[in-house]
Chain A
Amino acid sequence: MIFYLHLDMKSILSLIHLEFKMELRRKYALGGALLYVLSTVFVIYTSLQNAENLPWNALFWLVALFIAVNAIAKSFAVEQDGTQLYLYQLASGIQVILAKMIYNVLLILVLLLLAMGAFLLFLAIPIQHVGLFVGTVALGSLGLGIVLTFISAIANKTDSSAVFTAILSFPVLLPILLSLIKLTKASFAAESTSVSQDIVILLAIDTILIGLILILFPIVWKD
């Protein structure tokens, strides 16, 4: 087996464009994701408004995890067999997964930034270093987007893809989440701490996973 990276930016961009158009065509999808963010934060707000010293860190990433799983679980399910066959003739597996990953990372980034805004607005999370927190959210969307896109492709081969996206991705996401939680803890702390090691670990996990996924996705995709 010889894998060579055929990076045709133009076709990847048009695949992202297609992804975006399909998302817009299903108006309920994007609206549903936005409402999911707002209603989750609202539930937390109403149920925990009297409590003090909440574990904001864990709470934020739990919400982020469920938002991401919810938004991406149907990433491959929405395509009818016809679309899949059509794409299969036009683009390579690597192009399809790269386009989907880029689109999903951006989608999660937007949703998580919204969740972060809602957390700041309603719940007053004690962020000390806003730049670091936004950077952590960006790194988080990268990791979540990469893993969930691929896992949803795997889960799509089973009958209940939403359930399998969740249970298959949680253990794989755990190393990423643990590093993210450490970074978030640093952005909540009053004094600045060194975070370069955790960022390197996160980027290392992401790089290895992207490399593996680019090799493995064409196998999954070909039926």
Chain B
Amino acid sequence: MKQNWWKFLAVALVLYSVVVGLLRPLNPGILKVNPISIEAGKSYDMTIATYNTDFQSGDDIQSYLKINDTFGIQSQQVEILAPNELKVTFDIPTKLPSILQRDAYSIILSADRVGTFIRPRAVSIVQNEIDISGAIAAWPQNSFGDFKKAAKANFPFRAILYESLRNLFYHVPMWFGMTFLLMGSLVCSVLYLANKNTRMDTRAAAMIQIAVLYGILGCATGAIWARGTWGTWWTFEEIKLNVSAATLLLYFAYFLLRAAIDDEVLRAKISSVYSIIGFVAAVFLLFVLPRMVESSLHPGNGGNPGFGGEDLDNTLRTVFYPAVIGWTVLGFWMAQLTFRAKFLQDYFLEKYD
């Protein structure tokens, strides 16, 4: 029990990340606005479809059309059509505080219990003449009232991602786990070359086995995520997908090399050497090359902000970090079991051969 505490920790953290990661709801958000293109100087009834809201008659709901932090107008009236649907009426002034003929405006909703949420660049408004000073006179300044706070902060609502945001807790820890396991196998390979104890080599192979399993699961969870957000299971246009596939190929070649050498000591030596060279290549593949490309849809590459900037907020962190630690430790436990099974198999094969 005393030396097994880390196994309990791993199981607890993974269970926690699965249960909380799947059950905790998303914050409310705006799914759809209709119409999305309007003209200045007219009055519009807009229907706004919202997500995860439970509007009831009697709720005090405010809605704003906002161009920047200073200028915004409040709607004339808000009518609740359904728990997830509103009708708001905006009177758009003839002059807009923008130097563009057509500019995008955000919609903010603020309601009791539900809290405040925004859809950036939700509506585009066209104006006939550009008159900034006239617009400044016509638009109220700093008219935003006190925004209402939600009773409880949940996972952020992100357009395009929606509920698939939860995949953060399952897709990303796979690659973290794989990286740590590969580092562990590197240490074991170096130790083998230093001490010539073939058990170290078996240990390294077991860690790589689990790392490859994690890599395959990472590709699978990534494919599911890509299907939902990019519309395709797999694309060779994305550098990160290509380099992950190449890394898996590298370690498939490692197992083929092990299978090709019968002598135990020679196999341990050669595969340790190859795994050290392969690790260097894998580091370049996974961590250097993706940062060199001009553009990429995958977060964290080619000037695309990764999860970690404003995407990873504190509610996500409370599940994401435990998931990373849990899956990594679980991976090392699996590698240990694989190593023991292989060790016993070799032992009995030798004994009864």
Q: Are A171 and B288 in contact (CB under 8 A)?
A: no
Bound together, the chains give a CA A171 to CA B284 distance in angstroms of 11
Contacts of A171 in B (CB 8 A): 246-247, 249-250, 253, 278, 281, 285
Contacts of A198 in B (CB 8 A): 292
The segment from A69-77, A121-129, A158-166 that touches chain B is A158-166
Residue A190 at the chain B interface, CB threshold 8 Å: no
Residue A174 at the chain B interface, CB threshold 8 Å: yes
Contacts of A158 in B (CB 8 A): 257, 260-261
Residue B1 at the chain A interface, CB threshold 8 Å: no
Interface residues of A: mostly helix, strand, loop or mixed?
A: helix
Residue B220 at the chain A interface, CB threshold 8 Å: no
Q: Are A219 and B277 in contact (CB under 8 A)?
A: no
Tally chain B residues at the interface, Cβ within 8 Å: 27
Contact of B253 among A168, A178, A216 (CB under 8 A): A168
Bound together, the chains give a CA A157 to CA B273 distance in angstroms of 12
Give the distance to chain A from B226, nearest Cβ to Cβ, in Å: 21
Give the distance to chain A from B264, nearest Cβ to Cβ, in Å: 13
Q: Are B292 and A197 in contact (CB under 8 A)?
A: yes
Give the distance to chain A from B253, nearest Cβ to Cβ, in Å: 5
Give the distance to chain B from A74, nearest Cβ to Cβ, in Å: 17
Interface string of B233-273 (1 = CB under 8 A from A): 00000000001001101100100110011000010011001
Q: With contacts A171-B249, A174-B246, A201-B292 known, is A212 near B284, CB below 8 A?
A: no
Residue A29 at the chain B interface, CB threshold 8 Å: no
Q: Are B278 and A205 in contact (CB under 8 A)?
A: no
Give the distance to chain A from B74, nearest Cβ to Cβ, in Å: 50
Q: How many A-B residue pairs have CB under 8 A?
A: 72
Residue B187 at the chain A interface, CB threshold 8 Å: no
Contacts of A197 in B (CB 8 A): 292
Q: Are B277 and A150 in contact (CB under 8 A)?
A: yes
Q: With contacts A1-B194, A154-B270, A219-B269 known, is A175 near B261, CB below 8 A?
A: no
Contacts of B243 in A (CB 8 A): 174
Q: With contacts A150-B277, A205-B284, A216-B277 known, is A175 near B257, CB below 8 A?
A: no
Q: Are A172 and B278 in contact (CB under 8 A)?
A: yes
Q: With contacts A171-B249, A171-B281, A174-B246 known, is A216 near B273, CB below 8 A?
A: yes
Name the residue among A174, A201, A212 with the largest chain B CB count within 10 angstroms.
Answer: A174
Bound together, the chains give a CA A216 to CA B279 distance in angstroms of 14
Closest 10 CB pairs between A and B?
A: A171-B250, A175-B284, A158-B260, A172-B281, A174-B246, A216-B273, A167-B253, A171-B249, A157-B270, A168-B253
10 contacts between A and B (CB under 8 A): A154-B257, A164-B260, A172-B278, A174-B243, A174-B246, A175-B284, A178-B289, A201-B288, A201-B292, A205-B284
